[in-house]
Structure formats: C-alpha cells, structure tokens
Amino acid sequence: MTLPVVKGASYILVQAPSTLFQYGSTQTQTRQKDPNAEYLKQIPGHLRSFEACVGYAPNQAYIGNLLPDELGNIAEPWYDNPVADASRFGAQGEIMPEDEFLGLVKMYDSFDLVKLTQEFTELVKAKLKIHPIFKDKDLKALSEGVEFNEIDELVNKHVADGLYFEHKLIGCVKQAHDTDPNLNAHVMLENSMTKASGILALLNLGRLGYDITDIEYVIEASEEACGDVNQRGGGNFAKAMAEGAGCVNASGCDVRSFCAAPAHALINAASLVKAGVYQKVAVIAGGAVAKLGMNGKDHIAKGVPLLEDCLGAFAILITANDGESPIIRTDLVGRHTVGTGSSPQAVITSLVTDPLDRGNLKITDIDRYSVEMQNPEITKPAGAGNVPEANYKMIAALGVKRGDLERAEIMNFVEKHGMPGYAPTQGHIPSGVPFIGPALKLMKAGQIQRAMIIGKGSLFLGRMTNLFDGTSFVMERNAGIIEEAAAGQDDTALKTMVADAMRQLAEILLKED
C-alpha cells in the first residue's frame, strides 16, 4: 500500500467581463425584472481591463506568482496597488483573457453548438497560435467561423445565447434541443464554459511539466449539472474534460457537494491511490458563470471595481508516493456528519479537532489552515465580512477551549496559522483547495510541516435538506522514500527472525528424533 501524495497543482482564471454582464445571475435576474435598470447601465463603467485583472495581487497569488503571505506586504485596497511586472502566466497556472477563452469554448464544442464569426475566429486563432499550450492541430477545431448574420438570426430567434467580446456579439451557443429545458441555450453556454475552463486547468498541468496522458482517473468537482430532461445531473464533466485535454488513458466521474466538493474529491482521489486502484488521479473543477458579478450591486454602490470578473478553475494531481511530494493523510480526515449539529463548536470539532485528536496533534501543530479562502476585498463590501478570518477565529476559539492556546493568543494564532483570502468568489474554487499549490511548494522547501484543507458546502441551497456540509484532511511534508525503504527493511528483518526461529525449532525436533 502506497501513501498518496499531491504531485502537482494548476490554478487558472479566465477574465470574462462581457460574460459577467450578460450571464452572471445577479445581472440576468436584474435584467429580467427591469431591462433598463440603472445597475445594468453602470456595469460597463466599473469593469476593469485585462491588464488590471492580471496585476491584481490576489489573482497573482491564485496562479502561484505570489505566496498568500506576501499579500500582507501589499497595500490595500489591492485593486489600487497592482503588482509591478505581473505576468498572465504563473508558476502554477495562468490568467486567460475572454477572447482566447471564447475560442476554447468553440475548440472543445463536441456538438457544433458554438458558432463564432469569421472575423473573431481569425483574431482568436492568431492569439492562440502564440499561446504556449495550443498547437496548430488544436486550432483546427476553431474552423473558419460563420457569417455574423447567421449568429444574429439564431440569437434573435431565441434558439441561441450570444457570446460577446468587448460587449459586441461575436458568436453564440445554440440550444441542444428545442423543448428540453436542461439542454437549452443558457444551460449549454454555462456548461460549455465550465468544461472549457476545466480543460484549461488540466492542460496547464501539462504546461507545468506533468505528463497528463497517463492520468488514469479524473474526478470533477464543480457545481454545475449536465444531462437531459430525463437525467438533469447525469454528469461526467470529468470524462468530457479529460477527452478535451487529451488524457486518453483516463476515465472519471463527478463528485458534488456544493463548495465542499473539491475537498471530498481529493479525499476520494487519495483513497483510490492509497488502495492501489489507480496510480495517478486528477481532481479538477471548472468555473461558475452564474457567480460572475454576484456582488456587483454592492461593489458599484461602494465604488469598488467589479472584482468578480473571473471564472476560476483548478487541477490537482494525486499520485502514489514519490518520496518528496506532500502526503495526504487519509487517516486524518474530518467530516461534518448528519448528527454533528450546527453550532460553531460542533462544526469545528468535527472538521478540525476530531482528525487532529486521531493523530495526537494539537491545533497549533497545523502550520496553516486553508479554509474558505474568499478574497475579503470582494466579500467585505457585500456585507459578508472577512470569511477566512472568521473561520480562523472560530478554530482559535476552540483551541482556547481545549487548552491548546491562551485566550490572549487568538489574534496571533489567526496571523500565524491563517493567511489572507485571495480566491475569487466562485463557490467551490475558494473552498480549501487554493492553498494546496502553495502548500506543495512550502512543504517541498521544508518551510511548513502540515496544512489542513477544509471544504464547506451549503447543501441547504438545493432545498433537499437544511444541513450544510464539510470535510477536511491533513497534508503533511513527505518524510522521504528512504523511510519507506527503511520500513521495508524492518519487515525483512522480522521475516529473517521468524525463519531463524523456525530453523532452530526444526533442529531441536530433529535432535529429539
């Protein structure tokens, strides 16, 4: 039996301001009520440029060009203090502009539902040609494009939803059925974007040097559902994304639990590797179109740019022990059960201290907790406060109750064992997983020993239960393959001892004969 390790991680953002304006749920619901609403008129003036999005420090942290702690050295508001010489490509991912991404949506369209104009196709082809991932053979899927009038007609007949770049109609996603509500144009647009962003995250794993062609299993953990009228959530975004990324040896499945899904998926992936079912499993998730500009009304009211302009996605590679990558401690898993209850004390006990107790660890033995890592610059103007900090305070408070730390040390704990939130409010994207990449880097460098990844999900939003959900696990620095070998030697020594004893017994019996 091998220990499962986090071998690699990629994090991607897609800046999608026109998609925000057209299809973010806050905007669509506002438009439904009043197409001339003042809020909608104000949006274009509050969107930021791609350069501003790339230079935004939390985005640089998300793609691995800054460590989360380094955000503490950057003056706030971060949107007024861009990172100098920021790059769209990161040590652990990339930020893609909307035009290139719309090209990807077309490239990975399996049913010829996506149409782009000839002019836009040419523009995108030229841009993707110099992208480090895409080759000429990939770009063939863009085809030559169609006449603008064809797209305009499909949109006007309400059989397609428009695709926009810089607020101009440049394409569309057609409905996949004329009466099936689960295959209508809007659902197809959302799912196509989730799929394309997940593929981009997988491909970035490849760009970072990991061989993705021998991945055996892919688990997808976003919050979308794909299926037709007879199976709304039939699923397997995972296999569709694996196909798009060229993971020819992979099968896969989807795991859902609202925002907690990625943490569940990682525990599943680690368990599959530990059990020897598969050697190489990727956990991936695409982005959520509906959440673009979710808190836009509050941001505009408070003079904050529309910071929720990015789709987020990630891909994390779990493999058998390589002797150097951080281990996922499947024996130190926390879970919020049906009977746990909802008091903060019960929740933190189930997710944090129960697994720590099993490992005889104190709250302070975890160097860093990765909780709900939402960027506070997005959540505070919307009245949701600083979410990671609130989580850290609750963990610290339980630590005081258990005697792991003194009451006066609560804020020190928050600073030492926490970190600033930096992930976009894309639901499942900020939930525990953003720190896996930085933890991988810090553990390999010997700078931290352990991290706890905590995912929480709002199951009650689906109206099937009043419960919410949560799960957690400990990531630990790898002690080295040499120790694994040493354990093997101990086993050999034991076998030798038993063999010697048996031989001596046989000799005694022979003498007695």
Residue 384 within binding range of other proteins, rule CB under 8 A: yes
Is 346 or 400 the residue whose CB approaches other proteins more closely?
346
Residues 256-275 as x/- pattern, contact with other proteins by CB under 8 A: ---x----------------
Residue 149 within binding range of other proteins, rule CB under 8 A: no
Residue 26 within binding range of other proteins, rule CB under 8 A: no
- The single residue among 238, 387, 443, 448 that binds other proteins, judged by CB under 8 A, is 387
Query: What is the CA angle 217-426-375, rounded to 5?
Result: 120
Residue 382 within binding range of other proteins, rule CB under 8 A: yes
Is 323 or 344 the residue whose CB approaches other proteins more closely?
344
In angstroms, the CA 108 to CA 123 distance is 18
Residue 343 within binding range of other proteins, rule CB under 8 A: yes
Q: For residue 150, give the H/E element and its range.
A: helix 148-156
Q: Which stretch binds other proteins (CB under 8 A): 183-191, 228-236, 384-392, 445-453?
A: 384-392
- Tally of CB atoms within 10 A around 478: 19
Q: Which stretch binds other proteins (CB under 8 A): 42-50, 106-114, 245-253, 459-467?
A: 459-467
Residue 25 within binding range of other proteins, rule CB under 8 A: no
Residue 304 within binding range of other proteins, rule CB under 8 A: no
- The single residue among 191, 268, 374, 471 that binds other proteins, judged by CB under 8 A, is 374
Residue 390 within binding range of other proteins, rule CB under 8 A: yes
- The single residue among 36, 73, 149, 466 that binds other proteins, judged by CB under 8 A, is 466
Given a contact cutoff of 8 angstroms between Cβ atoms, the answer to whether 312 and 200 are in contact is: no
Cβ contacts of 462-468, under 8 Å, gap ≥ 24: 462/258, 467/338, 468/336, 468/342
114-116, strands of its sheet edge to edge: 114-116, 168-174, 160-165
Residue 341 within binding range of other proteins, rule CB under 8 A: yes
How many residues in the shown chain lie near other proteins by CB under 8 A?
25
In angstroms, the CA 503 to CA 106 distance is 72
Is 433 or 448 the residue whose CB approaches other proteins more closely?
433
Given a contact cutoff of 8 angstroms between Cβ atoms, the answer to whether 173 and 114 are in contact is: yes
DSSP state of 316: E
Q: Which stretch binds other proteins (CB under 8 A): 2-10, 50-58, 91-99, 456-464?
A: 456-464
Query: What is the CA angle 303-307-309, rounded to 5?
Result: 135
**CB of residue 328 vs other proteins: minimum separation in angstroms?**
24
Is 448 or 459 the residue whose CB approaches other proteins more closely?
459
Q: Which stretch binds other proteins (CB under 8 A): 9-17, 146-154, 217-225, 382-390?
A: 382-390
On the question of a cis peptide bond just before residue 77, with omega within 30 degrees of 0, the verdict is yes
- The single residue among 303, 383, 403, 446 that binds other proteins, judged by CB under 8 A, is 383
Beta-carbon contacts of residue 11 (< 8 Å; ≥ 6 apart): 62, 63, 64, 90, 92, 93, 201, 312, 313, 314, 434, 437
Residue 391 within binding range of other proteins, rule CB under 8 A: yes
Residue 312 within binding range of other proteins, rule CB under 8 A: no
**CB of residue 171 vs other proteins: minimum separation in angstroms?**
31
Q: For residue 254, give the H/E element and its range.
A: strand 251-254
- The single residue among 55, 93, 427, 455 that binds other proteins, judged by CB under 8 A, is 427
- The single residue among 119, 156, 460, 506 that binds other proteins, judged by CB under 8 A, is 460
Which structure tokens are listed for 395? 């963990």
In angstroms, the CA 371 to CA 256 distance is 18
**CB of residue 443 vs other proteins: minimum separation in angstroms?**
27
- Tally of CB atoms within 10 A around 306: 23
Q: Which of 258, 257, 246 is nearest to 282 (CA)?
A: 246
Residue 461 within binding range of other proteins, rule CB under 8 A: yes
Which structure tokens are listed for 327? 């281990």
Q: Where along the sequence are the contacts to other proteins (CB under 8 A)?
A: 259, 341-344, 347, 372, 374, 379, 382-385, 387, 390-391, 425, 427, 430, 456, 458, 460-461, 466, 468
